[in-house]
């Protein structure tokens, strides 16, 4: 009976391969465009090879420990999750770095051609990631029939996700900030100017951070949410396979719906965001009857409240659509938050930063209210399992959402190639609006990932409490009057702040190295500014690669070690408080950083369109400062906190029997 999820996942992977073939057969542009694209490809692949070789140094000992503590199935699950998560990111990125020049070439023909190529390139990542995640979970469950082994799989995906998000985020923002400080601010040259020694590293960063990192992140989120719902189903409805396997079937049905929904993406005029949302809305609408069919065909109405479960799943879809709308409001150039940051830039960098911080803080309120309302409504409809099904339904749309997200780095690179290859202004008039929308879509996907992580983490926490009761045979009440629970709450609340701080400092240190290298080249290589000498792009790529890999270890080690230490030293009650503290502060910090950072970026783009003095004005210089602050917010620290929330919960569930 698990044939349907396997077939659906294979269809999704085949669809991704078909889209990749369509993208790769498009014209690549002239020789200069191809040379630039090749340099980006080589830099991105070199970084990922070194990143995963470095991560293997950590993963192999963990694999051995899991084998020793548990068995081969749990250790094997960890290996499957880690390898699949890494592969998902690599495959998506390798298509993205080949789509960029083709989108720039397509922009010569106008919006429809460039938009279509960019979306198809992004959809390759989306449908490959989700297809691979569903296939990995289903196949490993079918092979082992062991839910604890699936928890190991989730842990493997989560660990790789933290490294990929953090390492890729440090890389992309260190290169971006370093290039901007010297190129834009000190030398006054355009963002994607070949005279800037860090320009190739900057374009590489868009792919290793926003594409490969995001793919690993949402692979992990999808897999962990599915596994958490299955574990909770087994604890609440012991031995009922139809319930335990329900998340797999719901994911498969929605994956087919998303595949069909992606075909609704059609651009009319310059309504880029509307075209993308057509696919998302179509996928959501098609998922409704798909869920209804699955519940009616798989679940007995006499034994289980299948209509209540159906309505709980609709709550998850509604939460997704609301989070997308809210995030667009806070990050799009069309609305008050971005425009108010741009207007504040008229009076200098200080006011730009103040209003940007304010908007980031404000942007947390509405998403949190939506998540809370969704959790309460799903619980009211169908209890704890209803919340799990809402989270599963939310993640079931991941294929189309990732496709919308991966559109962003492709269009960003396309604009960079157009600038570096000195293509006509008419090409930039196509790629620039696509890039601005891509900046919003990246923020939307991060908010979606964080929001779904919130629901998934609640499901994981409930699974932890249920597993704790199952192991000990007694009920645990996590009361604030218990000093251990309170201690855990405060310790857990500190983790996202400490992790975020270390991620920001890592970007600052790495960016400083890039700045020094770029300044050195401008100083020592005569003729760069006059275009009579060529910068050494490779040295900047190498410097930022080494810095990113060096700086990603300590924050990740703290995240992995902290729940283990709390569990062993303070006990399971304190660990329960620790998990809740991490979930609560993690959600607020992550949403504030991702939405606020994207708003800063689009405020700069809004000014560059000619508002408040346009490019080169004092307002523009202030906006560049704000964007420099916002970059590590939205692309490093903020999104990396998302897997952190789930890693601590997965570790707690996996090791719960050792804490009692």
- State the average pLDDT over residues 95-102: 87
Q: What is the pLDDT of residues 631-655, one digit of tens each?
A: 888 888 888 888 888 888 888 888 8
pLDDT at 227 over 80: yes
- State the average pLDDT over residues 29-54: 83
Q: What is the pLDDT of residues 517-560, one digit of tens each?
A: 888 888 888 888 887 888 888 888 888 888 888 888 888 888 88
pLDDT at 361 over 90: yes
Q: Give the mean pLDDT of the chain.
A: 87
Q: b/e string for 550-576 if b means 16 or more Cβ within 10 A?
A: ebbbebbeebbebbbebbeebebbbbb
The candidate with the shortest Cα–Cα distance to 540, out of 209, 46, 173, 201, is: 201
Residue 151 vs residues 254, 290, 397, 547, 653: alpha-carbon distances, Å:
23, 27, 22, 32, 8
- State the average pLDDT over residues 123-129: 91
pLDDT reported for residue 256: 94
Dihedral of the alpha carbons of 253, 256, 261, 262, in degrees to the nearest 10: 140
pLDDT at 192 over 80: no
Residue 484 CA neighbour count, 13 Å, CB half: 14
The region of weakest confidence among 73-87, 182-196, 585-599 is 182-196
Which is more confident, 268 or 245?
245
- State the average pLDDT over residues 371-388: 92
In angstroms, rounded to a whole number, what is the distance separating the alpha carbons of residues 328 and 347? 26
Dihedral of the alpha carbons of 556, 558, 559, 561, in degrees to the nearest 10: 120
pLDDT reported for residue 301: 79
Radius of gyration of the chain measured on its C-alpha atoms: 24
pLDDT band at 18 (very low <50, low <70, confident <90, very high): very high
The region of weakest confidence among 33-42, 71-80, 189-198, 585-594 is 189-198
In angstroms, rounded to a whole number, what is the distance separating the alpha carbons of residues 472 and 1? 34
Q: What single DSSP character describes residue 396?
A: T
In angstroms, rounded to a whole number, what is the distance separating the alpha carbons of residues 439 and 601? 8
Dihedral of the alpha carbons of 233, 237, 238, 242, in degrees to the nearest 10: -70
pLDDT band at 498 (very low <50, low <70, confident <90, very high): very high
Q: How far is C-alpha 595 from the geometric centre of its chain's CA atoms?
A: 13
Q: How many CB atoms within 10 Å of residue 628?
A: 22
Q: In residues, how long is the chain?
A: 660
The candidate with the shortest Cα–Cα distance to 494, out of 584, 595, 367, 591, is: 584
pLDDT reported for residue 653: 85
The region of weakest confidence among 11-15, 25-29, 442-446 is 442-446
In angstroms, rounded to a whole number, what is the distance separating the alpha carbons of residues 451 and 371? 7
- State the average pLDDT over residues 566-592: 92
Encoded tokens for 429: 């008039």
pLDDT band at 609 (very low <50, low <70, confident <90, very high): confident
In angstroms, rounded to a whole number, what is the distance separating the alpha carbons of residues 438 and 433? 8
Say if CB 211 and CB 92 are below 8 A apart: yes
pLDDT band at 491 (very low <50, low <70, confident <90, very high): very high
- For every residue of 260-274, DSSP letters joined together read HHGGG----TT-HHH
pLDDT reported for residue 218: 81
In angstroms, rounded to a whole number, what is the distance separating the alpha carbons of residues 510 and 532? 29
Say if CB 461 and CB 138 are below 8 A apart: no
In angstroms, rounded to a whole number, what is the distance separating the alpha carbons of residues 206 and 139? 32
| DSSP reduced 3-state for 474 | coil
pLDDT band at 289 (very low <50, low <70, confident <90, very high): very high
């Amino acid at each position: 009976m698990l044939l349907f999820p396997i077939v659906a996942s294979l269809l999704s992977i085949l669809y991704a391969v078909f889209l990749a073939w369509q993208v790769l057969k498009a014209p690549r542009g002239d020789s200069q465009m191809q040379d630039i694209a090749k340099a980006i490809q080589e830099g991105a692949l070199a970084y990922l090879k070194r990143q995963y070789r470095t991560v293997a140094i950590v993963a192999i000992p963990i694999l051995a420990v899991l084998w020793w503590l548990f068995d081969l199935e749990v250790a094997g699950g960890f290996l499957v999750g880690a390898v699949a998560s890494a592969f998902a990111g690599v495959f998506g990125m390798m298509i993205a770095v080949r789509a960029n020049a083709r989108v720039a070439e397509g922009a010569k023909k106008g919006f429809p051609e460039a938009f279509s190529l960019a979306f198809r390139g992004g959809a390759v990542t989306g449908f490959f990631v989700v297809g691979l995640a569903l296939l990995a979970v289903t196949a490993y469950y079918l092979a082992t029939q062991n839910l604890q082994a699936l928890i190991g799989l989730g842990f493997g995906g989560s660990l790789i996700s933290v490294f990929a998000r953090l390492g890729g985020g440090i890389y992309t923002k260190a290169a971006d900030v370093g290039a901007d400080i010297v190129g834009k601010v000190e030398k006054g040259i355009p963002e994607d100017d070949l005279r800037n020694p860090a320009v190739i590293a900057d374009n590489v960063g868009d792919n290793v951070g926003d594409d490969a990192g995001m793919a690993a992140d949402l692979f992990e989120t999808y897999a962990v949410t599915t596994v958490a719902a299955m574990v909770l189903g087994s604890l609440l409805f012991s031995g009922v396979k139809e319930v335990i396997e329900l998340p797999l079937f719901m994911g498969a049905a929605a994956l087919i719906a998303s595949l069909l929904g992606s075909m609704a993406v059609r651009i009319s005029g310059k309504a880029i965001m509307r075209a993308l949302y057509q696919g998302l809305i179509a996928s959501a609408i098609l998922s409704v009857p798909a869920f209804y069919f699955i519940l009616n065909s798989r679940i007995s109405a006499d034994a289980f409240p299948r209509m209540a479960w159906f309505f709980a799943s609709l709550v998850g879809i509604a939460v997704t659509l609301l989070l997308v709308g809210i995030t667009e409001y806070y990050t799009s150039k069309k609305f008050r938050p971005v425009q108010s940051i741009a207007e504040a830039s008229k009076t200098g960098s200080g006011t730009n930063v103040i209003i940007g911080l304010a908007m980031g803080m404000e942007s947390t309120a509405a998403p949190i209210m939506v998540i809370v309302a969704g959790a309460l409504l799903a619980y009211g409809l169908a209890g704890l399992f209803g919340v799990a099904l809402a989270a599963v339904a939310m993640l079931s749309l991941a294929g189309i959402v990732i496709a919308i997200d991966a559109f962003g780095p492709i269009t960003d690179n396309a604009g960079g190639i157009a600038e570096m290859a000195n293509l006509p202004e008419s090409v930039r008039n196509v790629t620039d609006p696509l890039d601005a929308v891509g900046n919003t879509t990246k923020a939307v996907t991060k908010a979606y990932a964080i929001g779904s992580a919130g629901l998934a983490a609640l499901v994981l926490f409930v699974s932890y409490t249920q597993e704790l009761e199952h192991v000990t045979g007694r009920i645990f009440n996590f009361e604030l009057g218990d000093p251990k629970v309170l201690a855990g709450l405060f310790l857990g609340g500190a983790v996202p702040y400490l992790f975020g701080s270390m991620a920001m400092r890592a970007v600052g240190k790495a960016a400083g190295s890039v700045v020094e290298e770029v300044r050195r080249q401008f100083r020592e290589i005569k003729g760069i500014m006059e275009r009579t000498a060529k910068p050494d792009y490779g040295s900047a790529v190498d410097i930022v690669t080494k810095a990113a890999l060096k700086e990603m270890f300590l924050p990740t080690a703290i995240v992995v070690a902290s729940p283990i230490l709390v569990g062993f030293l303070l006990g399971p009650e304190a660990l329960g408080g620790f998990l809740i503290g991490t979930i609560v502060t993690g959600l607020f910090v992550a949403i504030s950083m991702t939405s606020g950072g994207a708003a800063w970026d689009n405020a700069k783009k809004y000014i560059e369109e000619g508002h408040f003095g346009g490019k080169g004005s004092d307002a523009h210089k202030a906006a560049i400062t704000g964007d420099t602050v916002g970059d590590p917010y939205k692309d490093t620290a903020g999104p990396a906190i998302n897997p952190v929330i789930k890693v601590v919960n997965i570790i707690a569930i996996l090791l719960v029997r050792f804490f009692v």
